[in-house]
Amino acid sequence: MSRSEVAAVTKFSALTFEQKLDRLAEVAVKIGLGLRAGQELVMTAPIDALPLVRRITEHAYKAGAVLVTNFYSDDPAILARYQYGPDASFDFAPVWLQDGIAAAFKSGAARLAIAGANPALLSGQDPARVSRVNIAVSKASKQAMELITRHEINWTIVACATPEWAKLVFPNEPVDIAVEKLWEAIFVASRIAVDDPVAEWQQHGAKLKQRVDMLNAKRFSALHFKSADGLTDLTVGLADDHLWAGGGTTAGNGIYCQPNIPTEECFTTPHKDRVDGIVRASKPLSHQGSLIENISVRFEAGKIVEATASAGEDVLNRLISTDEGARRLGEVALVPHSSPIAQSGVLFWNTLFDENAASHIALGQAYSTCLIGGEKMDAAQLAALGANSSLIHVDWMIGSGSMDVHGVNPDGTSEPLMRRGEWV
């Protein structure tokens, strides 16, 4: 960190909490969404995020939004369904609402999601019921999700510290201190703890783009991951015509947006049939209310043939049994160990943050935008290039400060990309 950066951070800490929150809201609207005058905005948030939702709503109207529509989720209401709902409830999802959201996207609305719900909310519930609800929601929201994953619209995700989440991240602190600490960690990770966050994000985006351009020029056929402890020795074949992405993207509606705040990753589409070897997760995975620890998996010809975990193994097995594509990869991503999130040493129990702390892979659905011309292809064309399809997309961390990554060329030769977790 340079002298001027230190000064900038000090200055940031002199702001009131309300001012800091306002900065995050401004970055969410200007950088995350790139919201245009005349657009509608559809926002979803946990009810604890109300102060941030209101700030974002203000900035959205200042940017010229014609209508901001907010939907809230409430943890006790979610739990009431598990406690008192009839069994049929767990195969049910509001199709009418998801259809309406898809219709809003098609008529030009932008989408903002606030992350921050209690990651362990459903950990005590029947995993079969949790899984049924997720499948019902995935099916009902397929149309809306496709518009998002194909980047047809501008969208972003930002985070809000909530008490239950904060207690999980900082278990030894009283709840008010834990929330305060989590907010600070979110501000730093989201790159707004500087003098001029909008300029910071423009620079950060340009750096990510440089890395993406380098990787796209290489045309590797595979990546090889090997950890010093030998627990990971994995070859991830890349899809034919794969495209690397990272940082900002120009959506199908022509608007430039940063889909994740924070974001530190360069990612692409693996080949669904060309993944072989063993891989050990380097961080626990928080999945739909359960924590899965020490995941260890063996791939053969792209498919998981063995999966174990020291905790949450039943959740893992249920997850990879969701459908045919759930045992195969839909994403591979490179993140240097020096990323601010990795350096913070905080385990966030939230993919938005944890996936930006380490190189990772994702089970399930591939991003069609990570293939040349992919956004215009149908399912059969995408599959022919090796892109996976599934109802799920779940990222889990495999990178660490002891991970070496090589890029493998089509002729079988290879070159080092990352050594001990850092770009070569």
Our finding on whether 148 is near Zn ion (CB under 5 A) is: no
The number of helix segments (H) and strand segments (E) in the chain equals 14, 20
- The stretch near Zn ion (CB under 5 A) out of 89-97, 174-182, 301-309, 390-398 is 390-398
Q: Is 295 left (phi over 0), alpha (psi -120 to 50) or beta?
A: beta
Our finding on whether 182 is near Zn ion (CB under 5 A) is: no
Residues 355-374, interacting with Zn ion (CB under 5 A): 355, 362
Q: How far is the CB of 369 from Zn ion (least distance, A)?
A: 12
- In terms of CB distance, is 21 or 417 closer to Zn ion? 417
Q: Are 375 and 246 in contact (CB under 8 A)?
A: no
The full DSSP string for 74-93 is: -HHHHHHHHHH--GGGGG--
- In terms of CB distance, is 179 or 370 closer to Zn ion? 370
Cβ burial of 31 (10 Å; 0-12, 13-18, 19+) is buried
Q: How far is the CB of 365 from Zn ion (least distance, A)?
A: 9
Q: How far is the CB of 219 from Zn ion (least distance, A)?
A: 21
Residue tagged 């200042």 (tokens): 62
Our finding on whether 395 is near Zn ion (CB under 5 A) is: yes
- In terms of CB distance, is 65 or 245 closer to Zn ion? 245
CA dist 32 and 38 (Å) reads 17
- In terms of CB distance, is 23 or 360 closer to Zn ion? 360
Among 25, 102, 266, 333, binds Zn ion (CB under 5 A): 333
Count of residues of this chain found to bind Zn ion when the rule CB under 5 A is applied: 7
Q: How far is the CB of 273 from Zn ion (least distance, A)?
A: 20
* Both structure tokens of 90: 């767990």
Q: How far is the CB of 152 from Zn ion (least distance, A)?
A: 18
- The stretch near Zn ion (CB under 5 A) out of 90-98, 313-321, 391-399, 407-415 is 391-399
Phi, psi of 423 (to 5 degrees): -55, 135
Q: Are 60 and 29 in contact (CB under 8 A)?
A: yes
CA distances from residue 70 to 14, 43, 241, 360 in whole angstroms, order as listed: 31, 5, 39, 32
Q: How far is the CB of 51 from Zn ion (least distance, A)?
A: 28
Q: How far is the CB of 203 from Zn ion (least distance, A)?
A: 21
- Cis, bond preceding 262 (omega within 30 deg of 0): yes
CA dist 36 and 353 (Å) reads 27
- In terms of CB distance, is 24 or 394 closer to Zn ion? 394
- The stretch near Zn ion (CB under 5 A) out of 107-115, 216-224, 251-259, 260-268 is 260-268
- In terms of CB distance, is 236 or 333 closer to Zn ion? 333
Q: How far is the CB of 374 from Zn ion (least distance, A)?
A: 16
- In terms of CB distance, is 122 or 362 closer to Zn ion? 362
The strand pairing partners of 114, in sequence order, are 158
- In terms of CB distance, is 60 or 153 closer to Zn ion? 153
- In terms of CB distance, is 48 or 265 closer to Zn ion? 265
Cβ burial of 117 (10 Å; 0-12, 13-18, 19+) is buried
Q: How far is the CB of 366 from Zn ion (least distance, A)?
A: 10
The per-residue b/e assignment along 288-313, b for 16 or more CB within 10 angstroms, e otherwise, is bbbbbebbbbebeebbbeebebeebe
Binding mask of the shown chain, residues 71 to 100, with x at each position contacting Zn ion by CB under 5 A: ------------------------------
Provide the 8-state DSSP code for 326: G
- Which H or E run contains 266? strand 266-268
The per-residue b/e assignment along 8-20, b for 16 or more CB within 10 angstroms, e otherwise, is beeebeeeeeeeb
- The stretch near Zn ion (CB under 5 A) out of 114-122, 135-143, 164-172, 332-340 is 332-340
Angle at 253 between CA 109 and CA 93, to 5 degrees: 40
Our finding on whether 331 is near Zn ion (CB under 5 A) is: yes
Our finding on whether 223 is near Zn ion (CB under 5 A) is: no
Q: How far is the CB of 364 from Zn ion (least distance, A)?
A: 9
Residues at the contact surface with Zn ion, assessed by CB under 5 A: 265, 267, 331, 333, 355, 362, 395
